[in-house]
Amino acid sequence: MTDDGSGYFFKDTHYSDVLKTRLKDGVEMDSARAMAGYLQSNCSGDLRILDFGGGPGHYFPVIARTYTGGRLAYHSVDIDETHVQFGQDHFHGHDGVSFAVGSVLEPGASHTNQNCIISANTLPHVQSVQPLLHYVRDNASIEYVVFRMLIGNECVQIKKHLLEDQFDAMYASDFQYNNIYTLKYLQWCLGPDWQLDIKDDVFDAERLQQHRLPAQDSDPFYANRVSRPVGQMIFKGDIYMPWRFVIGRRNKHP
Ligand SMILES: C[S@@+](CC[C@H](N)C(=O)[O-])C[C@H]1O[C@@H](n2cnc3c(N)ncnc32)[C@H](O)[C@@H]1O
Q: Which amino acid is at 104?
A: V
Task: Report which of residues 20 and 210 the model is more confident about.
Answer: 20
Is the Cβ–Cβ distance between 216 and 222 less than 8 Å?
Answer: yes
User: Hey, where are the domains in the chain?
Assistant: 7-161+177-204+239-248
Model confidence pLDDT, tens digit, residues 91-135: 999 999 999 999 999 999 999 999 999 999 999 999 999 999 999
Give CB contacts under 8 A, 24+ apart, made by 128-133.
128/179, 129/179, 129/181, 129/186, 129/189, 130/189, 131/104, 131/105, 131/106, 131/107, 132/52, 132/104, 132/105, 132/107, 133/186, 133/189, 133/190
Tell me what pLDDT residue 232 has.
82
The Cα–Cα gap between 143 and 194 comes to 9
Pairing of the two strands 243-250 and 144-151: antiparallel
Tell me what pLDDT residue 127 has.
96
The Cα–Cα gap between 52 and 114 comes to 12
The Cα–Cα gap between 77 and 13 comes to 18
Model confidence pLDDT, tens digit, residues 57-74: 999 999 999 999 999 999
The Cα–Cα gap between 240 and 11 comes to 24
Cβ neighbors of 162 (< 8 A, separation 6 or more) are: 8, 174, 175, 176, 221, 224, 225
Ligand 1 contacts CB of residue 6 (under 6 A): yes
Task: Report which of residues 41 and 220 the model is more confident about.
Answer: 41
Using CB atoms within 10 Å of the CB of residue 233, give its burial: 0 to 12 exposed, 13 to 18 middle, 19+ buried: exposed
Cβ neighbors of 115 (< 8 A, separation 6 or more) are: 46, 47, 48, 141, 142, 143, 144
Note the pTM of the prediction, 2 decimals.
0.94
Best of 122, 128, 178, 179 to mutate for ligand 1, by most ligand atoms within 8 A of CB? 122
Task: Report which of residues 189 and 163 the model is more confident about.
Answer: 189
Task: Name the residue at shortest CA distance from atom 20 of ligand 1.
Answer: 103
Ligand 1 contacts CB of residue 178 (under 6 A): no
Task: Tell whether the model's pLDDT for residue 215 goes beyond 90.
Answer: no
Other CB atoms within 10 Å distance of the CB of residue 137: 16
Tell me what pLDDT residue 228 has.
82
The verdict on domain 7-161+177-204+239-248 having CATH code 3.40.50.880 is no
The Cα–Cα gap between 100 and 138 comes to 22
pLDDT band at 46 (very low <50, low <70, confident <90, very high): very high
Q: Which atom of ligand 1 is nearest to the CA of 83?
A: 27
Q: Report the C-alpha dihedral over residues 188, 194, 198, 201, rounded to 10 degrees.
A: -110
